[in-house]
Structure 1
Amino acid sequence: MKVKAYIPYLFIAPAVLLFSVFMVYPIISSLILSFQSSEGGVMVFTGLENYQKLFKDQIFLTALKNTFVIMIIQVPIMLFIAIVLATCLNSALLKLRGLFRVSFFLPAVTSLVAYSIIFSIMLMSDGVINQMLTGLGWDSIPWLSHPVWAKAALIIAMTWRWVGYNMVIYLAALQNIPDELYEAASMDGAGKIRQFFSITIPQLKPVILFTGILSTIGTLQLFDEPFTLTKGGPSDATLTIGMYLYQTGFRYFDFGYASTIAYVIVVLIGILTYIQFKVTGDDK
């Protein structure tokens, strides 16, 4: 009888072992590493030196500012467009809804590197976008060589990639909103716009919080798009925290300092998530 009691633990042991080796150990190891620096090729304990150095590092502060600018502009725009699209594609009056849903979701399954390369080609000085602008009589835009326009290029590319992903989440949530709410609002004389802001948005509040947290985490970890599209330029205008972490660890091989950056990102994610919960009025 006692042997049988241990059988379930034998089944979960491989999963626990793999999780411990590939998740728990690296997390603990990197935390310890964030308090160390390399001296003569040997890692030595330096206490909070890396953390003190980090907040005096102008490149890190630039990367932090860039990341927050992109997040503050891109995330609200993307989520609002996703809600609007989901509302439109949830309408029974729309024909070929399945086709439109698949079409908007397709960018979400596109390779990050592949779509970034495509956007970099389209946004070149003589790319198709500038050719269209000059064809309409407008001046071409230095998408990838101007600090402001480079950020705009990143925001446009990321919005195109992730709108469909969030749209599907909102679309699933819309299926659970009772039709009686909209019928009652219509009988009271509320138009579609009033219904959208008075019924749809409040009913989607938990899902908006969920997608907002996911998008915030994704932006703080942003790497693929700026690395492929702009290389962090021009003049570090699109350098993100994720890119700086990569450069520190795998270009300059300063793994202690890179671990410090990683844990600062973790703390930022925790703080922003807490703020989002408080702002939405969720006390749980």
Structure 2
Amino acid sequence: MKKKFPLTPILFLLPSVFFLAVFIYIPLVQNFYNSFFDFNVFSNSKEFVGLAQIKKLFQDDIVMVSIMNNFKYAIISVIFQIFFALILASILEDKLFRKVAPTLRVIYFIPVMISISVIALLFSFIYNPQMGLLNSFLELVGLDTWARPWLGDSTSAIYSVIAMSQWQSIGLITMLFIVAIQKIPNELYEAADIDGAGRIRKFFSVTLPQVKETMFVNLLITVTGSILVFNEPFILTNGGPGNSSMTLAVHMYQTGFSRDNMGYASTIATLTFLLSAIFALIQIKVSKTGKED
């Protein structure tokens, strides 16, 4: 007797496969195809240029600056949004903070719910060289030599943008770690107490191994987000001053819509996708997530 073909699971999968194909895979292939042509938004035809756009990519100094800024974004984001957020989550789940933890969780999560445009406006006031809170505070504590036009200085612009992003995003990652910590069996901590382990020892021996899977997910979200980041640098500095705070996404947008070169913008988009995919694959390989020890 022949086995019946399992049609029901396929029917359940079809809607998600359809939307993935329409909104992700087909545009991805189309974008790769467009990178071999020279055209603008209103072109009736596309001029085939072969690998000329890719060659131009390696000769573009702005691309190199953008990649370096994206890497800075990723490194700083991993430090604050992964390691600091994990420590913060552990502190909030400690018995000493049980009474105030719900209030603190809300306080840390509020920035996540605020629109990025509103946050950028807020930080533009904070970074204002004349009336900004940051420079005023530095002058108040006697560090007025550190005051500067934070968004107008090429050496500090990208770090100012990154700082704003950390302030907004750390709450989300902290909440994800809190959920993971709450799922850790209490018996593990009780066993550690019997063995005489202190808080730091319990963090490294119990908490850290038990949140490994969540750490992988958070790393993937953070690093991929750092490669794709657009809103923060675009709203605060638009890649300036000069190109000092330019990222790949901002450069792609300016190339396609300001300079009206959609073919080269498609090439930058392809590079951005490849970098995101490479970093994701590296993280999956290194973390060995989902595999039994």
TM-score scaled by length of structure 1: 0.89
Whole-angstrom CA distance in 2 between matches of 1:278 and 1:78: 21
Whole-angstrom CA distance in 1 between matches of 2:232 and 2:108: 20
Specify which of 234, 240, 255 is matched with residue 233 of structure 1: 240
Matched, 1:38 2:42: no
Whole-angstrom CA distance in 2 between matches of 1:57 and 1:51: 10
Matched, 1:256 2:263: yes
Aligned to 2:59, the other structure's residue is in SS state coil
Partner of 2:3: none
Deviation at 1:232, TM superposition (A): 1.2
Whole-angstrom CA distance in 2 between matches of 1:90 and 1:207: 16
Deviation at 1:266, TM superposition (A): 1.1
- Contact 1:277 / 1:283 at 8 angstroms: preserved in 2? no
Matched, 1:152 2:155: no
Whole-angstrom CA distance in 2 between matches of 1:31 and 1:111: 32
- Contact 2:77 / 2:223 at 8 angstroms: preserved in 1? no
Deviation at 1:18, TM superposition (A): 5.8
Partner of 1:3: none
Whole-angstrom CA distance in 1 between matches of 2:96 and 2:272: 45
Matched, 1:71 2:74: yes
Deviation at 1:171, TM superposition (A): 0.8
Matched, 1:141 2:145: no
Whole-angstrom CA distance in 2 between matches of 1:8 and 1:78: 38
Matched, 1:50 2:57: no
Partner of 1:170: 177
Matched, 1:104 2:108: yes
Stretches of structure 1 lacking an aligned partner (at least 5 in a row): 1-5
Whole-angstrom CA distance in 2 between matches of 1:270 and 1:103: 34
Aligned runs of 1:179-194 on 2, under 5 Å? 179-194=186-201
Change (3 A) 1:13 1:205: closer
Specify which of 48, 53, 59 is matched with residue 62 of structure 2: 59
Matched, 1:211 2:215: no
Amino acid at match of 1:253: D
- Contact 1:104 / 1:164 at 8 angstroms: preserved in 2? yes
Deviation at 1:282, TM superposition (A): 3.9
Whole-angstrom CA distance in 2 between matches of 1:7 and 1:173: 33
Across the aligned residues of Structure 1 and Structure 2, the Cα RMSD in angstroms comes to 2.6
Deviation at 1:15, TM superposition (A): 7.1
Partner of 2:122: 118
Aligned to 1:147, the other structure's residue is in SS state coil
Aligned to 2:39, the other structure's residue is in SS state strand
Amino acid at match of 2:51: L
Deviation at 1:163, TM superposition (A): 0.5
Whole-angstrom CA distance in 2 between matches of 1:88 and 1:283: 27
- Contact 2:184 / 2:210 at 8 angstroms: preserved in 1? yes
Identity %: 37
Whole-angstrom CA distance in 2 between matches of 1:268 and 1:261: 11
Count of residues paired in the alignment: 280
1:66-97 Cα offsets, whole Å, 9 max, x none, are 11122112222221221112112222332132
Deviation at 1:151, TM superposition (A): 2.3
Change (3 A) 1:218 1:33: same
Whole-angstrom CA distance in 1 between matches of 2:211 and 2:124: 35
Tell me which moved more, 236-245 or 151-160: 151-160
Partner of 2:135: 130
Partner of 1:270: 277
Change (3 A) 1:100 1:8: closer
Change (3 A) 1:153 1:70: same
Whole-angstrom CA distance in 2 between matches of 1:168 and 1:185: 24
